[in-house]
Amino acid sequence: MNFRRTRAVAQKEFLHILRDPRSLIMALALPFLMILLFGYALTLDVDRIPTLVYDADQSPESRELISRFRGSRFFKILGDAADYRSIERKIDTDECMLGLVIPKGYSRDLLSGRKPQIQLIFDGSDSNTASIALGYANAIVQPLAFEILTQGQNRSGGEASGAPIGSRLRVWYNSELRSKNYIVPGLIALILMIIGALLTSLTLAREWEMGTMEQLLSTPLRPAEVALGKMSAYFVLGLVDMVLTIVVGVGIFRVPQHGSYIFLVATGCLFLIGALFWGIFVSALTRSQLVAYQLAMVTSFLPAFLLSGFVFAIENMPLPIQAVTYLFPTRYFVTILTGIFLRGVGMEVLYAEVGLLALYASLVFLIATKRLKQKVA
């Protein structure tokens, strides 16, 4: 392989990029717009759940329970309901998601040592949000019930029965449980895969459509030199996009970055190389820019969004789908990003994922050059 010829191809691609300022601006602005759009719009946080209260007991204990819900950031008390029909009507019109019903006799049962009952009416049309909200509600109700029961027993002179096991909750790596802290690093992988594949998927197809591919074929260029030369030009542009997405994630969305920036950029470059070579392979597979664009989107965006694990947990997928996820590099890069950003780990922990990224980049380079040889033939 002649590096002089490779450099000449890279210079040619650089000139083409500079002569098309609209595409250049789009390539630089698109990652910024995507991470802002996805970062603000895509959130899995469940808070400020619209709640309507039907308090039939009207006691200090029931008001204490309502005040706990009112003071929690997870619930937003809309007001009081006069009966069940009011709650049903609000749920039907999507104005309310939770109905808190405190029956008459709640305080009597609570203070007398009997197990009091309250009713939580959820809108189950969104089962995931409803199940999360149920957990938040239980976290409020149970400690309060035990606290009030203990106080009542102390006032009556009875012996307070303590809980047999005490537990303290401690969350590592994402103590605030902010979904953006693991969504935004995953978005970096998603954006790099889309941009990397799209940037190079149109290169060879454009050469065929413009009629300049015949000129390249008449030169002594080898397929590996064509692939490396075209990849090198777009690698610089992709590197700028990667730095931009990292700056936006850390600076605007305040995602904690506990790991090494050098290791982050190095693994990002390795992932970007694989994405760019995949785009070259797609471009070599077809001579139409439209088909190349569509194929690049289908093979980059959909697997990166659905099968990488940054939105949907891979462990919850069916076993055949879990096996398919191993074929896509975004799965490994998302693991690397969350490890670097949130856990602060490095090569000593993520060596397997880094090795698989290197293997993927090498395999895609080989199949891209092989496809180029077939085109030359």
pLDDT for 355-375, tens place per residue?
Answer: 999 999 999 999 988 887 765
Considering the domain architecture, whether residues 145 and 194 belong to the same structural domain is answered as no
Over the chain, what is the mean pLDDT? Answer: 81
> Does the pLDDT value for residue 267 go beyond 90?
yes
Asked whether residue 251 is domain-assigned, the answer is yes
pLDDT in tens, 54-81: 988 888 888 888 888 888 888 889 888 8
Distance, in Å, from the CA atom of 190 to the CA atom of 140, rounded to the nearest integer, reads 37
Distance, in Å, from the CA atom of 113 to the CA atom of 108, rounded to the nearest integer, reads 9
Considering the domain architecture, whether residues 188 and 311 belong to the same structural domain is answered as yes
Asked whether residue 171 is domain-assigned, the answer is no
pLDDT in tens, 212-258: 766 776 677 787 877 888 888 888 888 888 888 888 888 888 888 88
Q: Full-prediction pTM beyond 0.85?
A: no
192 Cβ contact list (under 8 Å, min separation 6): 31, 238, 241, 242, 245, 268, 271, 272, 275, 333
Predicted local confidence at residue 273, as pLDDT: 92
Closest CA to 358 of 259, 274, 254: 274
Instruction: State the total domains in the chain.
Output: 2
Range of the domain at 364: 6-43+178-376
Collapsing DSSP to helix, strand or coil, 78 comes out as strand
Considering the domain architecture, whether residues 57 and 18 belong to the same structural domain is answered as no
Considering the domain architecture, whether residues 109 and 142 belong to the same structural domain is answered as yes
Distance, in Å, from the CA atom of 244 to the CA atom of 236, rounded to the nearest integer, reads 12
> Does the pLDDT value for residue 322 go beyond 50?
yes
Asked whether residue 65 is domain-assigned, the answer is yes
